[in-house]
Amino acid sequence: MQALQDVTLELSPHEVVGLIGPNGAGKTTLINLLTGFDRPTSGTIELDGRDVTGWNPPRRAHAGLARTFQHGHVFSELSVRENVELGALGVAGAGEARRRARELLAALDLERHERLPAGTLPHGEQRKVAVARALAARPRYVLMDEPAAGLPESDVEPFAGLIRSVRDRYEAGVLIVDHNMALMMEVSDRIEVLDQGRALARGTPDEIRRNIDVAAAYLGESVMAEDERVRAEDERVVAEDERVRAEDERVVAQDEDA
């Protein structure tokens, strides 16, 4: 059984690419392959023109590739500041790591939490810590695996702003996987769709919204049936309008004859 087959994906700096698809479509597997946590049985992975297929995750991180995980993966007992510093220590010295942490804590509005154990923060703030830690390595590309999972609705819009800032302020390319479709449609410059391990569609958010194959695969047959019902009802209303108009014209014609 192949988790992914014939999938080609490109990510450039300063853009947000959304990766969507049903459960089991292969989204997390693709992120694991790109970041070196899994190895492909065929095909290649390139980073800025270099074949990195055989590189391990730390080497890819040094080359500018960072990721966040589905469940945040903060170090609960360490302070927020220490969590962020750890993200830089793999590529910078201790002094530079502290400087980067201070800068990111300020930029992401985490300064007031910097001395608190990361595990004591609300869920949404822990997600921000995970993003800050990834950015501390100064990556060219950030891969986010369900970063908004479990966020209360009130936190989703601020989190969307955070993702845009990764693209605009830090000029990184962002690949994001999430089941919050409103978030994905809002932050993505373009969207790639996987279904059963294969690429199904790609395009702008508006193009993906209108794609009937995506609706069938991602939203399910019930949505398609509802769309068909609505379309049939619209056609019925149009036909009824035409019948009434024809009847009105007949009555007018009779009045003129009289």
Question: According to the model, what pLDDT value does residue 231 have?
Answer: 62
What share of the chain has pLDDT > 70, as a percent?
86
Question: According to the model, what pLDDT value does residue 10 have?
Answer: 93
Token pair 């809002």 in the structure block, residue: 186
Question: According to the model, what pLDDT value does residue 224 have?
Answer: 47
The span from the CA of 200 to the CA of 215, in Å, is 11
Nearest to 163 by CA among 54, 4, 180: 180
> Does a structural domain hold residue 220?
no
- 103 CB burial (10 A radius; 0-12, 13-18, 19+): middle
CATH number at residue 101: 3.40.50.300
The average confidence (pLDDT) of the chain is 85
The span from the CA of 58 to the CA of 156, in Å, is 30
> Does a structural domain hold residue 8?
no
The span from the CA of 53 to the CA of 155, in Å, is 36
> Does a structural domain hold residue 49?
yes
> Does a structural domain hold residue 138?
yes
Chain centre distance of CA 230: 30
Question: Residue 30 is part of which domain span?
Answer: 16-202
Question: According to the model, what pLDDT value does residue 203 have?
Answer: 93
User: Is 167 in contact with 16 (CB distance < 8 Å)?
Assistant: yes
The span from the CA of 84 to the CA of 131, in Å, is 9
Confidence bin at 1 (pLDDT 50/70/90): low
User: Is 80 in contact with 110 (CB distance < 8 Å)?
Assistant: yes
Across residues 60-66, what is the average pLDDT? 91
Across residues 117-127, what is the average pLDDT? 88
> Does a structural domain hold residue 166?
yes
> Does a structural domain hold residue 213?
no
What share of the chain has pLDDT > 90, as a percent?
41
Q: How many domains is the chain built from?
A: 1
Across residues 4-9, what is the average pLDDT? 85
> At residue 220, does pLDDT exceed 60?
no
The span from the CA of 209 to the CA of 211, in Å, is 6
SS3 assignment, position 47: strand
pLDDT digit string (tens) for 168-200?
988 999 999 998 888 899 999 999 998 888 888
Question: According to the model, what pLDDT value does residue 222 have?
Answer: 45
Rounded to two decimals, the pTM is: 0.77
> Does a structural domain hold residue 10?
no
